[in-house]
Amino acid sequence: MNIRKAQVKDVKAINALIANYAEHDRMLFRSMASIFEALQSFTVVEDDSQVVGCCAVEVIWSDLAEVKSLAVKPGLQGKGIGRLLVEEAVKQTAGMGVPRLFALTLEPVFFTKLGFEQVEMDGLPMKVWSDCARCPKQDHCDEIAMIRVIS
C-alpha cells in the first residue's frame, strides 16, 4: 500500500468511495466539483494502483482543522487503511502549525483508538457556523464530535 497526495486522476475513485457511504447515510455526499475544488486537501491510499481509501484535512480556524471525507473501500475496513489516513492527517495538521484536529463521525470508537476524545458539538463554534449551517442534517445531526490535541 502507498499513501500519497491525491491527484486529478483520483477524483472519480474518491467520489465513488464517498458516494458509497453517503448512499447508506454514513457520510455526507460530496460532488465531483467539490472534490476537484478541495483536491489539494485530499490524501489517498492506493493498493495495486487502485485507490482504496481517502481523507481530506481542512483548516477551519487558526487553532482547528478537520478530518473530512474519510472513506475506505468496502471490505477493506480493519486493515489499517483508515488509521494510516488519520495518522497522515495528524502529521499534516502538525506541519501547518494547527494545534487541534477534529472529526464529526458515526464511528467514535475508531477515533478514540487514535487519540481523539469526544467533545460537545457546541465546543466547535467555527465549525457550526461554516459547514454545519449548510448541512441537510443540521436540525437532526447524528454525528459525534471528536477532537485530538496535536503535540
How many Cα atoms occupy the beta-carbon half-sphere of 26 within 13 Å? 13
Task: Note the pLDDT tens digit of each residue in 40-76.
Answer: 999 999 999 999 999 999 998 899 999 999 999 999 9
Q: Burial of 58 by CB count in 10 Å (0-12 exposed, 13-18 middle, 19+ buried)?
A: middle
What's the alpha-carbon Rg for the chain, to the nearest Å?
14
- Per-residue confidence at 125, pLDDT binned at 50, 70, 90? low
Q: Could you count the other beta carbons within 10 Å of the beta carbon of residue 14?
A: 25
Cβ 111 vs Cβ 71: under 8 Å: no
pLDDT of the residue at 32: 97
CA distance 141 to 59: 21
Task: Note the pLDDT tens digit of each residue in 83-104.
Answer: 999 999 999 999 999 999 999 9
